[in-house]
Each structure stands twice: as C-alpha cells, then as structure tokens.
Amino acid sequence: MAAGVLLEARGVTKFFGGVRAVRDLDFSLGQGEVLGVIGPNGAGKTTLVNILTGFVRPDRGRVVFRGKDITGLPPHKIANRGLARTFQGMRPYPGLPTYKNLVVPLNSPRVRKTAAGRFGDLDSVALDLLEEVGFERDSSVPYKTADSLPLGYQKRLELARCIALRPEVILCDEVFSGLSMAEISSMLPLLEKLLSRGIALILVEHRLRELFRITRRVLVMRFGEKIAEGPPREVLGRPEVTAAFIGRGSPP
Amino acid sequence: MESVLVYGTINSIIFALNAIGFSLVYGVSRVPNFAHGSIYVLAGFVAWSLVNDLGLPYPLAVAIALAFSAVIGWGIHRLVLRRLRGLPTSEIIASFAVGLIILEGLRLQGIGGFKGFIGPNYVLKPFVDGKIEVLGVFVDSQRLLVVGVGLVLAPVLWAFTHHTRLGLSLRAVAQDEQAAMMLGVHSDRSALIAMVLGSALAGLAAVLVLPLGNVTCEVGYQVLIYALAVCIVGGLGNWAGTVLASFLLGFAMKVSTHWFGAVWESVVLVGTIILVLLVKPSGLLGKQKELEERV
Amino acid sequence: MSTRKLRKRRVDRGIHVRTRGLYALSSYREMAYLLAPRLFLLVGLLGLPPALDLYGQRVLCAAAVFAMPALAFDFLAEYVGLVCLGGALFIGFGGYAAGFLNARLGLSPVLTIPLGTLAGACLSTLVILPCLRLRGVYFAMVTFMIPLFARHVIVALGLLGSTEGITGLDTLPDPLIEIYVILAAVLASLFALRRLVNEDLGLILRGIKENDQAVAASGISILRYRVLAVFIASCIGCFAGAYLAHLYGWLGLSLFAMDFSILPIAAAVMGGTGTLAGPVVGAFLLTSLSEALRGFGQLRVVLYCLVLLAFILYKPEGLLKVLERKYQQFERREEV
C-alpha cells in the first residue's frame, strides 16, 4: 500500500467567540489508512470534521489534501476533490424514495466527469450503490421513503451517499451511534470493503470497542487539543487519556 | 463640510433607531418583522389622532402611542406569529401580510367615518422648537433631541441586555435557542418579549423622527427598507453591526446628497447593499454563525 | 345515561385505491378518474374564452397574468426554499425589457415578448444574485426591496419614461389570440414545472431546501442551482410582465406595484403552496373576487392580505388539497 500522505492538518485552530474549539491540531492520513478520532463530548471532534470538509473556516492553520491547500474552500469544492463526510444528525431527504436520495451526489461534477452514461441510467447506478452497501436488490426497501427506514439502513444510506461521490477519503462522524452491537458488526465488513478499495477513512467515534476492531491508529482529543496518538492499546494505557474520559482536570 | 458631519451623525442615529427594533426581533426569534414599518407609521398616526381629534396633550399622546405600539406588537405575535413558529416560510409571509394590511389599511378613507392618510397634511409637532448652532451649523432642536435619545438609549439597551435577567435571557436565545431552552429560558415567551420591545422601539423612533417630516404611508415602506438595509449591511441579528451599519449608511447617504443631489440617495443605498453582499455577504460584523449564514 | 361521541374518519374511495399503481389501466372508468381533474383544468381553461364576453375575457386574461408569478412564487418557496416577496420585480423587468425592445428598437411583439422575457430574466437573476449565497431570509428581504428600489432608480436616472412611462406600444392583434397566448403560457409553465420538480434538477433543488449541508457535502454547488432556479422562475414571471406590456400597450412605474407582489403570494397560499396547480387556481379565484369588489379601490391589497392570513392560519394546506381530499376520500362519522 502506497505510503503517500493524503490528508493533512497543520496547526488547525478555531475559536468560537471566547471558546477554543480546536487548538493547534496536527495529523496526517495516508492512502488506505484508517484513523480513529476519539475524545469526550465537547472535545472538538465535530468542529474538526467541519473544518476539514469546509463547513467552518479555521482561524489558523492549514488543511492539505493530496498536496493542495484546501483551507477555506467551500464544502462542495472539497467534496468534488474527493473528501466525503457523513453527518451526525443524519437527515435523509424526506419524502423521496431511498434510491432517489443518491441523485444528488450522482449529479456532482466529480461523478459526471468520470461516469459515462446518460441521465436515465442514474437510477440503476443508484440501485447498484445501494446493493453495495447492503440493501437487498430485489426487495422493496430501496423504494421506500428514506425517513421510514430503520436506523441501520439510514446509516448505510449515508455511507452510500458518500461512496456515490467516488471519494478518496470518507470522514465518518459517529456513524456507529444509535446502532446495536450486532448492527455495527454487520457494518464493519462494509467499511473494510471500502478500505480494500483504497478509500481512506477517518472515524470519529464514541463506541471504542467496535472502533478498535477496525482501526490501528487513534487520535485522542480533549478540549480541542490532541493529547495522544498511536495504536489503541497503547493510547488507552496513558493516564492523561483515562483522565480525559473520566473527567479529571479542567480546560486550560 | 461641517454640515455633512452634523447631518450625517443625525441621520445615522435615526437609522440606528429605526433598525434596532427590527434587529432585536430577528435576533431573538429569527422572524424578520416585515410589519416593522407599519407599526412605525401606526404609532405616528395614533399620536396624531390623539392630539388632533381628541385634543389630548402632546406628551400624553406620545406616551399612549408608545404603549399602543407595544400592544400591537404583542397582538401580532400572539394572534399571528405564535401559530406559525417554526415554519420560516409562513412566518415571513404572514408578517409581510400583516404589515401590508396596516400600511394599506391606513390609506383607506371614509369607511365608518375613518379618515385615512391621504394627502401630506399630517404633521406631528416637534417636542422642542427652535434651532441651536452646532459646529457652525444650525440644527433643529428636535433633531438634537433625537440624537440625545439615541445616545441615552444605547447604554440603556446595553445595560439591559448585559446586566438584567430578562435581557440576558434574550441574548441567550439569540445566540443559541436550544441551549437557552435547556437552561430554562422559555423561547416562545422570549420571542413575544422581543416582539413587544421591538415594536415599542419602532414606536419610539416614530414619535421622535416623524415630527421632522410628514406622516404618510410611504414613510412606512421607507423605514422598513432602511431597517432591512442596515441589517443586511451590518449583519442580521448582530447589534453592534447594526450600529456600525447605521453610521456607514447614514453618512453615505448624506455625503451623496451633498455631492450628487438628493435624488441619488436610493442609488447609493442600493449600491452599498450590493457591495456588501458581494464582498462580505454576512454583513460587516456578521461572522459568528458561519455554518448558518453562508450556504 | 350515555353520550355518543362521534369522530370524523376519512376513508379512501374505492376508485382512488384502484387507481394506484398499474391497476389504473384496467378500465376506462379508472383512467377517467385519474384524467378528469387534469382534463377539467385544460378543457375548462381553454374552452372558457369563447364562452365569455369581452369583459369576462379581460378578467380571465388578468387572472392568467397573475397566475404566472404565483407559479414562480410557489416554485421558489416550496421547492427551493426561497420566499420571494417582490414578484413585481419580475413583472417590472419583463415589462420594461419588452417595452424597450418595442418602443426603442421597433421590434414586433412576436419578438419582444420572448426576448423581453429572457432579458428580464437575466436582469432579475443578476440583481438577485448577490443574496443567493446566504440564507433564505435574505432572499425575502432583498426581493421585497427590489421593486421599491427599481422605481426610485428609474425616476432618479430618468430612464425609459421615468414617471410617465412609455405609451403607444403595439398590442396583440386579436382578443382571442391575446387570451390564448397567456393561457397556453400558464398551462405550459404549470406542466413544465410539475415535470421539473421530479427530474434530477428538481430533486436537487428540493434537497437544497430540506438539507443544504448534505447537498453541499455531496459536491453540489448550492449557489449554481439556486441561480438556475431563480432564472427559471424569472422566465415565468417576466413572461407575464412582457405580455402585460403588450396587453395594455404601455409601460410605467405601476408595473412594479405592490399588487403584483402580494396577489401571487395570496393566490399561492389560498390555492395551496407546493401543489403548483393551487396557485393557478388561487390566482383565478382571487382575480375574480377582486373584480367583483371593484368599487373598493385600494382595499384590494388589504383584502388579499386578509385572505392570505386567514388561509395561512386556519387552512394552511390550501383549497386544492381540500378538493383533492374530497375527490380521493370520503368522510364518515363513527363512534369512538
């Protein structure tokens, strides 16, 4: 697997009014890698995802994707370069059948440049995508309205929305939340399939046990700062990480 | 040159007085109060009627007009806006409709003996007569009164929103409605209070500024436009931005009148709005809510 | 002593259930049930003009002219999430563009109406463009201000006849042609928009309205699609303006009147926002109503606003949905 660095954050800092959401954060992600981002609530994880994907502009620092500076670019341009993300509060387009939800990413410039085919074929592309993420092809599920789906399916739809973009990196913001252990277990093979295709993943998670089954590198955040990075076992053994999760200490 | 400075300042404070009510309502309840201009005119009309038709003493009429505008604000919120909370499209349409009903309704004449606002003869007397010289320029005392009230109002409002419980709760709702609700602030009630206060502020602006000119229905549209312009340029919901934008626009318009003639005022206003929208869309100071402002 | 409590229950009509899905093709009766409302609209509108006298035809014309900005408003408000409070800007820009082409360049209405529509639409979109990067509320504020500013700017710069306007524009040759042109335009716009909102473009626009962050994260430029939507709506609105200039034979500041802003909104709310056909129905109803109340003059705008408020507070779904429900379901009172 090539060891080229795909996504990099250098000294990223963001203040919201007087609150320091993210401070001086550095990390790098290589091709085909999985990075887990963990930390207690309010650690700045979602802000970090927002910064990386262009929804929030950092006050200081840079984000570099495939060697090019993408700091401050609008979200759709970043998505078109190959950086996709899921949303935590995850809202599919109401009232539309599930497969129609994928119309939006399939119409993005990125897909239209690479994919051949007339507009009429988008429906079958969408159905293929749904099948890849685990919707049974010949059932009625892809045709049901998206908000009537059970949670597990909705999460898969979210991932399908990302995959439709043919991204190189997918940022998953708490994609395991709300799922049972069985549901997560059935989702891990999907993530591994994505990895085997060369898509790098950043998983922001609270469900540590399940996360550690798939990732070998973890970044711990607390009060906006990176306090540890490394293999899961090693990182969890550190006293400052335990303190972060149990709650000793106050923001500097 | 001095006259531009003096009148520019006066104009800016007038703009600020006009806009602060609108900005308050939007900041707290996220509803753009398109009835703002109509409440303004209505307050003026009520004051005029009380003075001319009922013969009440002027200060009393003004006080009643102020109270009346607050009540109107309460009425609009309670009867119309409360039922539509959470439906942004409907809120906008409804407030627009209410504003139009009031403004166009005031044009009516002869329905049940109601004398409408047709013709330019409706004038409110100024509080204070006479002129005073400021920096070598003769200024109406009424205009100075406006400036005085504005300068007093600013710290009062600041103190209200920073040091009283009610004011702080309004600010909390303005910043983050969900968080404020979790802390026990009733968001519907805050919207109501904001509406009442905003309407009262509109009424205050009306009784202060209308004596400088005539009371007509067009004034209602004009005031609403100025309030919208100030809020766009300064950043919606951002009170410091409102003040800054008032000064910017107030001076810009006076300068353009001085150099190009009064007829170009609207062009300058439009130009400033377009410029701000292109260069700094969220407004001069509107950078807080990035995720929501820009699309 | 027992009290009987009754509750309203709505049950789908048998024929409505039978027409869902492929079974609709099973018999002529089912197909007629489906086609009837659309045919009613089509035949009703197209067959009405010869049956009316000249005055009735004028009213129908005016109603159809109002139906266009009502369609544009509904499309923008319910399918794109942008509330346009200044429909008069479309009428004004379209009217002035067509009038200019006719009066100053001497082109005939056959050319000026389409060209005026396009020119007006480009101008409208350009003027609205700066606020499209922001939240929907800015759109409402800016579109509210535009017709009022346009009037000031025209007077200030002394453009195109300033306060007097320009008279003596060519009118269309025949009253029947006049009315069929606008009716055709209304029907074409209605069916085109209906089709559009279910195509990819429409789905993306609806996505932007529901959840713009997800759309942006999917690589779609929200600005570009909003511009496209505004342009489409402008074409529809500006056509009405261009047509109006040639209907009356003059253009003036009154093309930017508040009537043209508020009636489409009231029509859309009354007929049912989101249904696209509702605003058309609402426009016809409201125009007829306002004609019947001609004597009241300025009261018109107040009337439209009162109707609007009444519907938005008490029957927000609009007339069309109520009719649709009656057509598709019947009500029964049952014991609880």
- Residues 282-301 of chain C with CB under 8 A from chain B are 298-299, 301
Question: Higher model confidence: residue C96 or residue B115?
Answer: C96
Assign A135 to helix, strand or coil. coil
Residues C98-120, mean pLDDT to the nearest whole number: 89
Q: What are B154-204's pLDDT values in tens digits? A: 889 888 888 888 888 888 888 888 888 888 888 888 999 999 999 999 999
H helix or E strand, kind and range, residue B131: strand B131-134
Residues C5-12, mean pLDDT to the nearest whole number: 82
| CATH class of the region A5-246 | alpha beta
Question: Higher model confidence: residue A4 or residue B110?
Answer: A4
Pairing verdict, β B137-140 and B131-134: antiparallel
Please tell me the predicted confidence (pLDDT) of residue B88. Answer: 85
Least confident of A216-225, A243-252, B230-239, C2-11: A243-252
Per DSSP, C134 falls in state: B
Please tell me the predicted confidence (pLDDT) of residue B112. Answer: 38
CB contact under 8 A, B97 and C137: no
Q: Residues of C with CB below 8 A from B291's CB?
A: 213
Q: Does B75 reach chain C within 8 Å, measured CB to CB? A: no
ipTM: 0.88
What is the average pLDDT value for chain C, to the nearest integer? 88
Longest dimension (CA), chain C: 85
Q: What are A166-216's pLDDT values in tens digits? A: 899 999 998 888 888 888 888 889 999 999 988 999 999 888 888 888 888
| pLDDT grade for B122, boundaries at 50, 70 and 90 | low
H helix or E strand, kind and range, residue A182: helix A181-196
CB contact under 8 A, B89 and C78: yes
Strand partners, A4: none
For C55-67, give the DSSP string: HHHHHHHHHHHHH
Please tell me the predicted confidence (pLDDT) of residue A115. Answer: 63
Q: What's the rounded Cα separation, in Å, for the pair B222 and B28? A: 24
Q: Does C210 reach chain A within 8 Å, measured CB to CB? A: yes
Q: What are B24-58's pLDDT values in tens digits? A: 999 888 889 999 999 999 898 888 888 877 778 88
Q: Residues of B with CB below 8 A from C133's CB?
A: 281, 294-295
* Residue C210 to chain A, least CA–CA distance (Å): 7
CB contact under 8 A, B96 and C155: no
Q: What are C224-283's pLDDT values in tens digits? A: 999 999 999 999 999 999 999 998 888 888 899 888 999 999 999 999 998 899 999 999
Please tell me the predicted confidence (pLDDT) of residue C334. Answer: 80
Residues A219-239, mean pLDDT to the nearest whole number: 87
Q: Residues of A with CB below 8 A from B291's CB?
A: 50, 55-56
Helix C277-292 and helix C175-196: axis angle, to 10°? 140
Nearest to B266 among C85, C156, C226 (CB): C156
* Closest residue on chain B to C216 (Cα): B295
Given a cut of 60, is residue B107 above it in pLDDT? yes
* Residue C114 to chain A, least CA–CA distance (Å): 29
Contact A211, A205 (CB under 8 A): yes
* Closest residue on chain A to B175 (Cα): A17
Please tell me the predicted confidence (pLDDT) of residue C4. Answer: 73
Contact A178, A89 (CB under 8 A): no
Domain, as residue range, for C110: 58-321
CB hemisphere CA count around B175 (13 angstroms): 13
Given a cut of 60, is residue B289 above it in pLDDT? no
CB hemisphere CA count around C156 (13 angstroms): 18
Beta strand residue intervals within chain A, DSSP E: 5-16, 19-30, 34-38, 60-65, 68-69, 83-85, 169-173, 200-204, 217-222, 225-230
Please tell me the predicted confidence (pLDDT) of residue B288. Answer: 46
Residue C313, classified by CB atoms within 10 Å of its CB into exposed (0-12), middle (13-18) or buried (19+), is middle
Assign A237 to helix, strand or coil. coil
The percent of residues above 70 in pLDDT, for chain A, comes to 93
H helix or E strand, kind and range, residue B227: helix B217-234
Q: What's the rounded Cα separation, in Å, for the pair C270 and B89? A: 15
CB contact under 8 A, C305 and B104: yes
Strand partners, C61: none
Given a cut of 90, is residue B119 above it in pLDDT? no
Backbone angles phi, psi at B53, to 5 degrees: -95, -35
Determine the Cα angle at C57 with ends C51 and C59, to 5°: 130
* Share of chain C residues as helix, strand and coil, in percent rounded to the nearest 5: 75, 5, 20
CATH number at residue C120: 1.10.3470
Contact A26, A11 (CB under 8 A): yes
- Residues 245-264 of chain C with CB under 8 A from chain B are 258, 262
Neighbour tally for C20: CB within 10 Å? 11
* Residue A56 to chain B, least CA–CA distance (Å): 6
Classify residue C25: in a domain, yes or no: no
* Closest residue on chain C to A76 (Cα): C219
* Residue B175 to chain A, least CA–CA distance (Å): 11
The percent of residues above 90 in pLDDT, for chain C, comes to 43
* Closest residue on chain B to C223 (Cα): B295
What is the average pLDDT value for chain A, to the nearest integer? 85
Determine the Cα angle at B223 with ends B217 and B228, to 5°: 135
Strand partners, A8: A28, A64
* Residue C309 to chain B, least CA–CA distance (Å): 6
Q: What is the pTM of this model?
A: 0.90
Closest listed residue to residue A38, CA positions, set A238, A252, A186, A249: A238
* Entry field: residues in chain A: 252
Contact C83, C77 (CB under 8 A): yes
Residues A145-168, mean pLDDT to the nearest whole number: 87
Q: Please tell me the total count of domains within chain C.
A: 1
Residues B110-129, mean pLDDT to the nearest whole number: 57
Q: What's the rounded Cα separation, in Å, for the pair A194 and A196? A: 5
* Closest residue on chain C to A160 (Cα): C218
What ranges do the domains of chain A cover?
Answer: 5-246
Q: Does C214 reach chain B within 8 Å, measured CB to CB? A: no
Residue with tokens 């453009």: C159
Residue with tokens 């995850």: A90
